[in-house]
Structure 1
Amino acid sequence: MRKLLFVTLLVVCSFSVYAQQYALFNTKTLFDSFENPAQKSFVLDSSRQFASNFLFPYMDLSSLSRGSSSEAMRNLINATYAQRRVGAFNNPSTVRENINVYLLNIKLFKYHKYHSEMGFSWQVRSETQIDYDKDISTGVFYDSFQNFATIPRINIFNNNGKLQAYHQFSFTYRENYTRRWALGAKVSLLSGIGYTEFYADKSSVTINRNSIDIDMEAKYRINYPEDDFKFKNTLPFKNLGAAITLGTNYTTKSGIFIMANVKDLGFIRWGKNSYTGSFDITANQVEFENNINAEKNLQRELNELGTQNIQQKSFVTPINSRADFLISKTFGPITPNLILTKNIFNEYGEAALATTLKSGIFSFSAVPSYNTDKNFRFGAQGMIQTPNFELFLGTNDVTQTYRAGKEILNSKPDSETGYNRGSLYIGMAFKIGYIVEHPQNMSWMPGVGNNKDQKSFFGSIFGIFKKKKK
């Protein structure tokens, strides 16, 4: 299926394992305040009133070795291939991808009394999960990302997976409920770009030099016809959905900082022009007249198998929702942050220890982490931060990024898996406008003196549970 995951190339142009920027948690950066909505991003008497990335996107870039899809197919056929599987994988492994790019974010300081902040953001996100068997699927990642995007065509027999890409337009608001306790929320409108999902419950394939035998049972869903995905499909306000993030943080008298979030709890409804399909095929034999066109014949045959039983109808999918917990305490220039995260709709979870060393406006963070896929990673980040400017550069996996860069410079792609992974993220933001001064020092202050009896937003909500004074 030549364009089955083409949307990924258009949206993220990258590939990486599941990762969050843990080094940015509890930094009070603009990114931190949007990802963890109870967090402050303004400093009284120092910060200016408006904060934005000014169209400089927070980017998570990754590398992947290049190659030829046709050549990989030809090698597969010429070498012959035989594999049978029913049910679960013998030696299961998972590839996860979670790209989150903020194209635009704007935040403003609203009221001094409750340190109220509100903001707007536009994100583009992509989520992928591919399950495969390490014993029999070394060909999963043949040569290129373009080929990775065609797994259902080349290695449909060994892999289950799904991809979802969408726009996220959000409004966020936070305030101090008490001096030590803060609350925040992020409400989002979602607009789906592309979705594809494929699950093979039973498969058997034998590829000879002149024929192929297939026995396969599978189901799939996709939101666009194979040959009808165009750039206009990436435009927003189609395939609508909604999501909400709720966050809180609390600082104890001894200085221990605790933060908790339920993030992106939501769904997308893919329109009535979407497709669902299933097939159960036994002993389907394809004859090859010559090996020159063998790979084209195989590709065409698999495409035909997948389109024999199609229904055109809408469907609903959840997005990658998760719960986060952070506990931290500052010891002079060092701030260790223990972070736990767990996906709500699948088994994935991760623990990370983000330790930041700060000196003036400069800081460096080291982030070892371990996840439920039994992968250990070590990330690092450097940052320059003032009350009105922030610039950071980091990676979620130092070792893999170094290896990927070395392979690319030497033009020697990994011969066993056919792909190299590397992660690099970068971001920058500015603050402009009036300085948000403390009332005792102020020459001008937004939201001060307008209404002395004004209640906080969350205070008004929780006030319905309080007894009224007689």
Structure 2
Amino acid sequence: MKKGLVVLFLVVSTLNATAQQYALFNTKTLFDSFENPAQKSFVLDSSRQFASNFLIPYLDLSSLSPGNSNVAIRNLIRQGYTESRIGAFANPKTMREDVNVYIAAIRLFKYHKYHSEMGFSWQIRSETQVDYDADISKGLFYETFQKFASIPRINIFNNNSKMQAYHQISFTYRENYTKRWALGAKVSLLSGIGYMQFDASRSSASVNSATLDVDMAAKFRLNYPEGGEFNFKNSLPYKNLGAAITIGTTYTTKSGVFMMANIKDLGFIRWGKNSYTGAFDVTQSNIPLVGNPGEQEEDKLQRALDNLAKGNTEQKRFIAPINSRADFLISKTFGAYTPNLIISKHFFNKYGEAALVNTIKSGTFSFSAIPSYNTDKNFRLGIQGMIQTPNFEMFLGTNDLIETYYAGKDIIKGNEAVETGYHRGSIYLGMAFKIGYIVEHPMNMSWMPGVGDGQERQSFFGRIFGIFKKKQR
């Protein structure tokens, strides 16, 4: 397995429970302005004209510890294993992840009258959902992308799972439509890196040291390089193309209540001609687990399952949606304290989450505590610290303080994740700067973009909504 592509490593090996960086919402950081496109990131008379992360990625250093999965599979084969399922899970559970890494982001102040801002960004995203049964699944999480994306995921067949990783290259624009109401949009070109979906409606597997018996009804879709090997060329953003759009708005009442709403990443990817789809209903006994001298037992099992799948596969293009969602935020500042209530709901699955971001600010430093609860019935507590000036920002936080504490404790003690579960940890950080001329208010200006060019312009959204207004004769 080639491991030279650092970016891909970040995508497929840094799994954490689904979470947006809620503590960065309503902070007017560069990250906030790209995730919530109606948000400002410049302050008149203080900020400079260009903002960028200068190729210092917004990194989510979250991790999902795989444990000693190779040993688990060896023991499974040596000791024998049988498990059957028909229909729905008896005790369903879901493991989710949503990794979002900004490789490059640049934003510029365009025009003073409507506080127009525009920006360009390059993200790498990874989305995973695995449904499994809490009573029978053994958490066999694999270390390589090939085995991660292959059919045996949890408890051999007894799971339904979906994973896709892709590039997202975007243009954003925002402006004030009125003094209290702002609008923004983010238009994205998508390019798929890898996709896997597997759904089993009936599965029974019996494994011993030499043979495999299987009875399974399932369907699957795959798109990743032959042999699961990624290199720089086949990970460039030029194939498996798609598109997405985000639209957002903010409104501030006379009493100072701030509200924000977004429809995010409504889009799809068209996975190309190298894709594989399959649906099969098979019952086979005594499938030999053969291999080369000295070959590991888990590789023999992997080969037998791959051969089983190849006989029921065809190459076929398909279209898959990305994780689209709607967010709503309401907030009001009380001196140094700002609470933000955030509600988020996915469109194409049942996942939703509510979070309360409690931020205390003193000068350029702020601290946030973020309790949240989701539809998977998981409670989490995140924290974040941030230093922010009009021309510099740096933040460090975790989405899951409790899990990160226990994961860190096990790392220090040298313990590995047990075979019946996994450990999750989460640390994210980012930094951005602003350079160029100061964006001054016209009454204080020495220079400002969009001022003094001899003509007055109408706002972009004003021109769009103007078609609905009655024209004056």
What displacement does 1:9 show? 3.4
SS of 2:163 mapped into structure 1 = strand
Residue 377 of structure 1 corresponds to 380
Is the Cα–Cα contact under 8 Å of residues 11 and 99 in structure 2 kept in the other structure?
A: no
Task: Please tell me whether residue 311 in structure 1 is matched to residue 310 in structure 2.
Answer: no
Question: What amino acid maps onto 1:83 in structure 2?
Answer: E
| CA distance in structure 2 between the partners assigned to 1:205 and 1:223 by the alignment | 25
| CA distance in structure 1 between the partners assigned to 2:174 and 2:185 by the alignment | 7
Residue 458 of structure 2 corresponds to 455
Q: Give 1:420's match in structure 2, choosing from 418, 423, 426.
A: 423
Task: Please tell me whether residue 241 in structure 1 is matched to residue 247 in structure 2.
Answer: no
| CA distance in structure 2 between the partners assigned to 1:210 and 1:309 by the alignment | 23
- Runs of at least 5 residues in structure 2 that lack an aligned partner in the other structure: none
Task: Please tell me whether residue 201 in structure 1 is matched to residue 201 in structure 2.
Answer: yes
What displacement does 1:66 show? 5.6
What is the TM-score of this pair, normalised by structure 2? 0.94
Which segments of structure 1 move beyond 4 Å, counting only runs of 4 or more? 66-69, 143-148, 287-294
SS of 1:153 mapped into structure 2 = coil
What displacement does 1:458 show? 0.2
SS of 2:453 mapped into structure 1 = coil
| CA distance in structure 1 between the partners assigned to 2:394 and 2:280 by the alignment | 51
Q: CA RMSD in A?
A: 2.3
Residues 133-171 of structure 1 show CA distances to partners (whole Å, capped at 9, x for unaligned) of: 011002434x75669715623633111111111111100
Tell me the percent identity.
68
Residue 224 of structure 2 corresponds to 224
Question: What amino acid maps onto 1:244 in structure 2?
Answer: I
Is the Cα–Cα contact under 8 Å of residues 58 and 102 in structure 1 kept in the other structure?
A: yes
Task: Please tell me whether residue 100 in structure 1 is matched to residue 100 in structure 2.
Answer: yes
Residue 342 of structure 1 corresponds to 345
What is the TM-score of this pair, normalised by structure 1? 0.94
- Runs of at least 5 residues in structure 1 that lack an aligned partner in the other structure: none
Is the Cα–Cα contact under 8 Å of residues 388 and 431 in structure 1 kept in the other structure?
A: yes
Is the Cα–Cα contact under 8 Å of residues 225 and 275 in structure 1 kept in the other structure?
A: no
Is the Cα–Cα contact under 8 Å of residues 69 and 419 in structure 2 kept in the other structure?
A: no
| CA distance in structure 2 between the partners assigned to 1:264 and 1:289 by the alignment | 45
Residues 263-300 of structure 1 show CA distances to partners (whole Å, capped at 9, x for unaligned) of: 00001111112111222111422356899965443222
**Which residues of 2 match residues 43-122 of structure 1 at below 5 A?**
43-65=43-65, 67-122=67-122
Residue 299 of structure 1 corresponds to 302
Residue 179 of structure 2 corresponds to 179
Is the Cα–Cα contact under 8 Å of residues 116 and 173 in structure 1 kept in the other structure?
A: yes
Is the Cα–Cα contact under 8 Å of residues 224 and 275 in structure 1 kept in the other structure?
A: no
Question: What amino acid maps onto 1:372 in structure 2?
Answer: T
Residue 152 of structure 1 corresponds to 151
| CA distance in structure 1 between the partners assigned to 2:381 and 2:202 by the alignment | 37
Is the Cα–Cα contact under 8 Å of residues 66 and 140 in structure 2 kept in the other structure?
A: no
What displacement does 1:467 show? 1.0
Q: Give 1:352's match in structure 2, choosing from 334, 351, 355.
A: 355
What displacement does 1:220 show? 1.0
What displacement does 1:243 show? 0.5
| CA distance in structure 2 between the partners assigned to 1:367 and 1:386 by the alignment | 22
SS of 1:421 mapped into structure 2 = strand
- Judged with a 3 Å threshold, the aligned counterparts in structure 2 of structure 1 residues 318 and 289 are, in CA distance, closer, same or farther, namely closer
Question: What amino acid maps onto 1:189 in structure 2?
Answer: L
What displacement does 1:107 show? 0.5
Residue 324 of structure 2 corresponds to 321
Residue 279 of structure 2 corresponds to 278
Range with bigger deviation, 227-236 or 102-111: 227-236
Residue 407 of structure 1 corresponds to 410
Aligned residues: 467
Question: What amino acid maps onto 1:134 in structure 2?
Answer: A
Residue 331 of structure 1 corresponds to 334
Question: What amino acid maps onto 1:454 in structure 2?
Answer: R
